[in-house]
C-alpha cells in the first residue's frame, strides 16, 4: 500500500470521523479515499473553499466532540497556521498531515522535499507548542497516524504528521498493520455527575490537562476562545493568568515529551548498524530519508565498517537524550536531509548543544548532507559520504 493509503486506514482505525480538506498534490488522495469510506462508517468528508476553512471546520468538528483531521501540502499548510494557533490556545485536539513537496511557494508539486520542518515546528505566532511526528516508511505512516490521534486527544493540542511526496505515493510491501497495537484515546471529559456551576474548562491542573465538555452531551457550557483566558474560559489579560495558562499549555507538552522521549516511548527511534559504542561514524536522519540511510548503513556494516544509524520518529519533542547518547562518542555524525538549509540538523543542534557535550569538550560533530533537487536520496549517495568521513577519521 501507499503512505497515503496507510494514513487513511490509520485515521479510520483511530476513530477519525471528520475530514475537511482542499485539493492539493500530493495529499489529495487522502481526501478522495476517505470520501469513499467515511460516510459508510458514520463519518463525514467536507471539501472546503480553501485550507483556512478546511482546518477551521476541523477545529469546529473537534470542539463538537468528533476526532478530526485535515491533510495538505506546503502551500495549504502555510494557510493553516492561524488555526494551529487557535487550536493551541483553545486546546482543541486535531491532526494535520502535511505531505511535503518542494517549496517555497507553489514550488514543485510533484517532487519531494523535507523542507516544511521549520514551519511545522515554529509556524503560528506566539508560544504554541505542538507535537510533530515524521513517518519513516509506509508502515510508519500507519502507526504514527494512529498515535497522532491519541496524542491529540490526550493532550488536547494539534499534532502534525510530516509525510512527503515520496512516502505519499510510493507503494511498499509491508507486514499487515495491526491497529490493536495502538490504544484508542478520547479527550478527558467532565465528571458525569459533577457540579456544572463549578466546572472550569481551563482548570490549572498538575499535568496541564483539564476536562473538555462536549456540547450536546455534557451539561457544562463554556466558551472557548483564542484570547488569553482564565480557568473558566473568560478573557483575562492579567500577567499572572497569562503566565499560568502558558505554563498549563507548556506543561501538557512537557508531559507528552516525558512519554514520547522516555525509554517506554510508543514511538521510539530506529537504530541500525553496529551499536553506537562501537561505531566511529553515525548517520542521523528523519522522515522518508530513513530508507536510503538504513540501506547505506547496512551495506557499510556488511563491508566491515563501524557505522551506526539513528532515526527518531518524533521530531518535537525531540528525544534529545537519545540523540546525545548516540552522538557522544562518534567522531562524525552525518545528517542527510532533503532540503538546502539543514532544518533538522539545526533543530538537533538547538537541543543537543555544546554545553551538553562538555565531556568531549567540543560541539556535536554534525555534518550536514543536503540534497535539494526534488528527488530523494539514494543509498549510494549517503554511503559515499560516510565512506569519505570514515577515511578522514580513521586515516586523517
Partner 1 sequence: MANLVAQDFKSKVKPTWCPGCGDYGLLAAVYQALARLQLDPAKTIVVSGIGCSSRLPFFVKTYGFQTAHGRVLPVATGVKIANPDLTVIAVGGDGDGFSIGGGHLVHAVRRNPDITYVVMDNQIYGLTKGQTSPTSPLGIKTKSTPFGSADAPINPMAWVLASGVSFAARGFSGDPKLLIDLIVAAVQHPGFAFVQAMSPCPTFNNTYDLWRGNVQGLPADHDPGDRLQAMAQAVREDAIPLGVFYRESRPTLESHTRVTDHPAKSDATARFDVHGLLEGYR
133 close to 164: Cβ distance less than 8 angstroms:
no
Q: Which is nearer to partner 1, 106 or 178 (CB)?
A: 178
Residue 17 touches partner 1, criterion: CB under 8 A: yes
CB of 302 to partner 1, least distance (A): 32
Residue 109 touches partner 1, criterion: CB under 8 A: no
Q: Which of 59, 119, 161, 348 binds partner 1 (CB under 8 A)?
A: 59
SS3 (DSSP) at 97 = strand
User: What's the CA gap between 269 and 318, in Å, rounded?
Assistant: 10
Cell 506566539 sits at which residue? 126
CB of 225 to partner 1, least distance (A): 4
User: What's the CA gap between 176 and 155, in Å, rounded?
Assistant: 29
Residue 90 touches partner 1, criterion: CB under 8 A: yes
Stretch that binds partner 1, among 129-137, 208-216, 306-314, 341-349 (CB under 8 A): 208-216
User: What's the CA gap between 90 and 213, in Å, rounded?
Assistant: 13
Q: Which of 23, 235, 262, 373 binds partner 1 (CB under 8 A)?
A: 235
182 close to 150: Cβ distance less than 8 angstroms:
yes
Site for partner 1 in 121-180 (CB under 8 A): 176-177, 179-180
CA 279 to chain centre: 29
- Consecutive H or E run containing 118: helix 117-122
Q: Which is nearer to partner 1, 215 or 353 (CB)?
A: 215
* Residues 6 or more apart whose Cβ sits within 8 Å of residue 310: 269, 270, 271, 272, 276, 282, 283, 284, 322, 323, 326
Residue 195 touches partner 1, criterion: CB under 8 A: no
CB of 142 to partner 1, least distance (A): 9
Which residues contact partner 1 (rule: CB under 8 A)? 1, 5, 9, 12-15, 17-18, 20, 37, 39, 41-46, 48-50, 52-54, 56-68, 82-83, 85-86, 90, 176-177, 179-180, 183-186, 189, 213-227, 234-235
Amino acid at each position: 500500500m501507499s503512505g497515503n493509503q496507510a494514513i487513511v486506514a490509520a485515521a479510520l482505525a483511530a476513530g477519525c470521523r471528520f475530514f475537511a480538506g482542499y485539493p492539493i498534490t500530493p495529499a489529495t488522495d487522502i481526501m478522495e479515499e476517505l470520501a469513499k469510506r467515511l460516510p459508510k462508517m458514520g463519518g463525514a468528508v467536507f471539501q472546503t473553499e480553501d485550507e483556512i476553512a478546511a482546518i477551521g471546520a476541523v477545529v469546529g468538528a473537534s470542539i463538537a466532540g468528533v476526532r478530526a483531521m485535515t491533510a495538505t501540502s506546503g502551500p495549504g499548510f502555510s494557510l493553516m497556521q492561524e488555526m494551529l494557533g487557535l487550536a493551541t490556545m483553545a486546546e482543541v485536539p486535531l491532526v494535520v498531515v502535511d505531505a511535503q513537496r518542494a517549496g517555497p511557494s507553489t514550488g514543485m508539486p510533484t517532487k519531494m522535499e523535507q523542507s516544511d520542518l521549520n514551519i511545522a515546528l515554529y509556524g503560528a505566532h506566539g508560544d504554541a507548542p505542538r507535537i510533530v511526528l515524521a513517518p519513516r516508511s509506509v508502515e510508519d505512516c500507519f502507526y504514527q497516524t494512529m498515535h497522532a490521534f491519541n496524542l491529540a486527544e490526550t493532550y488536547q493540542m494539534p499534532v502534525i504528521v510530516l509525510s512527503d511526496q515520496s512516502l505519499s505515493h510510493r507503494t511498499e510491501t509491508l507486514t499487515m498493520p495491526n491497529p490493536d497495537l495502538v490504544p484508542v484515546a478520547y479527550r478527558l471529559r467532565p465528571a458525569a455527575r459533577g457540579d456544572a456551576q463549578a466546572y472550569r474548562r481551563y482548570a490549572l491542573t498538575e499535568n496541564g490537562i483539564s476536562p473538555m465538555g462536549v456540547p450536546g452531551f455534557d451539561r457544562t457550557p463554556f466558551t472557548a476562545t483564542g484570547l488569553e483566558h482564565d480557568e473558566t474560559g473568560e478573557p483575562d489579560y492579567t500577567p499572572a493568568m497569562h503566565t499560568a495558562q502558558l505554563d498549563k499549555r507548556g506543561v501538557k507538552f512537557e508531559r507528552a515529551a516525558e512519554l514520547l522521549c522516555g525509554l517506554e516511548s510508543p514511538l521510539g527511534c530506529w537504530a541500525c548498524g553496529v551499536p553506537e559504542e562501537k561505531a566511529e561514524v553515525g548517520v542521523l536522519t528523519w522522515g522518508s530519508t530513513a530508507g536510503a540511510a538504513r540501506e547505506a548503513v547496512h551495506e557499510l556494516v556488511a563491508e566491515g565498517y563501524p557505522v551506526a544509524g539513528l532515526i527518531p520518529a518524533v521530531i518535537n519533542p525531540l528525544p534529545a537524550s537519545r540523540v546525545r547518547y548516540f552522538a557522544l562518542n562518534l567522531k562524525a555524525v552525518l545528517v542527510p536531509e532533503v532540503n538546502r538549509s539543514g532544518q533538522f540538523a539545526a533543530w538537533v543542534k538547538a537541543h543537543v548543544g555544546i554545553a551538553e557535550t562538555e565531556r568531549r569538550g567540543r560541539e556535536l560533530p554534525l555534518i550536514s548532507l543536503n540534497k535539494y533537487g526534488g528527488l530523494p536520496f539514494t543509498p549510494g549517495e549517503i554511503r559515499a559520504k560516510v565512506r569519505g568521513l570514515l577515511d578522514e577519521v580513521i586515516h586523517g
